[in-house]
Amino acid sequence: MGDVAMTIPVIDSFARSNPDVEITMLSSPKFAPLFEQIPHLTFFPVDTKKEYKDVGGIWKLFQKLKREKQYDCVIDLHDVLRSKLLRTLFKLSGVSVFKIDKGREEKRALTREERKELKPLKSTIQRYEETFIRAGYPIKTSFEGLYKETISLSSTIKNVLGEKREKWLAIAPFAQHQGKIFPLNKMEELIQHYTRNTSTKIILFGGGKNEQQKLEEWAKNYPNTISIAGKFDIQEELQILQQCDALLSMDSSNMHFASLVKTPVVSIWGATHPFAGFYGYQQDPEDAVQLDLACRPCSIYGNKPCKKGNYPCLNNIDNNAIISKLNKYI
């Protein structure tokens, strides 16, 4: 999800600087709202869990795309098995094809256990830009946010959150992998701090069933705390994020969604590292909370088990370090 969000600044900038180019964007149906503001772009929903889930499905997708338009160029910003197969079919049919350079060798050097090369790598957004440049389309990302002005919240949202009369702090405490999740007991202490010592409204973001259960528990136990997990679609969540004064998140998709609506993000980093190139678009590097440990980063995606067994990169972070950064906004 974060990868898709990071394409928005680049594709939006490309579309606005190339008004004569028609764009077809292939992605999961749930991401369609992210692309609604981009001019001369047609969103083509691709459900890889149903209609296009296997080799036969990719062939069907290729045939359907070929019938609809005569494409001059295919740009693969994902470079996974399905997109490799699809771009190969286009290449064999005579269409120019370009793919992202993910910098896999550099990332292995960044995360290896010994002789780690700890240095900032190209951002993912820069890698997207370079893919367009190789395809012959000069581009300079100048994206200024999904919304040009503050969006008025719908009555549906206001029925859950009420009118905004205080600071709103969004918290997204979960991520896809354990190596990126701040200990939940320490996160609860942060919620307790802000609900007891300030008039801040806490808005909890999450997705999975187990996540929703924990967030509802916190919402029940702490005043002025509301869980919106599972209650709104992606467009509504973006509008809520835009109204928030800050987001506290992990290295997760919510960091990138908040970046699209120009909401400041204080992000917590454990097994992963901003140097890998996945930091939020135009976010302040000083707002990353992390520890300097010889073993960090041990993973690009946070999916490897901790060799120390207890994730000191996360467990040893002092809550006061997080509070001091959030207090710039809350």
State pLDDT tens for residues 73-91.
Answer: 999 999 999 999 999 999 9
Residue type, 281: Y
User: Which residues are 98's β-sheet partners?
Assistant: 75
All structural domains of the chain, each given as residue ranges with its CATH number in brackets, are: 2-134 (3.40.50.2000), 155-326 (3.40.50.2000)
Residues 6 or more apart whose Cβ sits within 8 Å of residue 67: none
Q: Which of 223, 228, 251 is nearest to 238 (CA)?
A: 228
CA angle, residues 186, 189, 192, in degrees to nearest 5: 160
What pLDDT score was predicted for residue 263? 98
Q: For residues 83 and 87, give the distance between their C-alpha atoms in angstroms, rounded to a whole number.
A: 6
User: What pTM does this model have?
Assistant: 0.94
Residue 210: pLDDT band (50, 70, 90) is confident
State pLDDT tens for residues 14-30.
Answer: 999 999 999 999 999 99
Residue 53 has pLDDT above 90, yes or no: no
What pLDDT score was predicted for residue 198? 79
For 260-271, what is the mean pLDDT? 98
What pLDDT score was predicted for residue 13? 95
What pLDDT score was predicted for residue 225? 97
Q: Sheet of 288-289: strands edge to edge?
A: 225-227, 201-204, 168-172, 246-250, 265-268, 288-289
User: For residue 277, is it left (φ>0), alpha (ψ between -120 and 50) or beta?
Assistant: left
Q: Could you give the count of Cα atoms lying within 13 Å of 253 in the half-sphere of its Cβ?
A: 17
**Percent with pLDDT over 70 in the chain:** 100
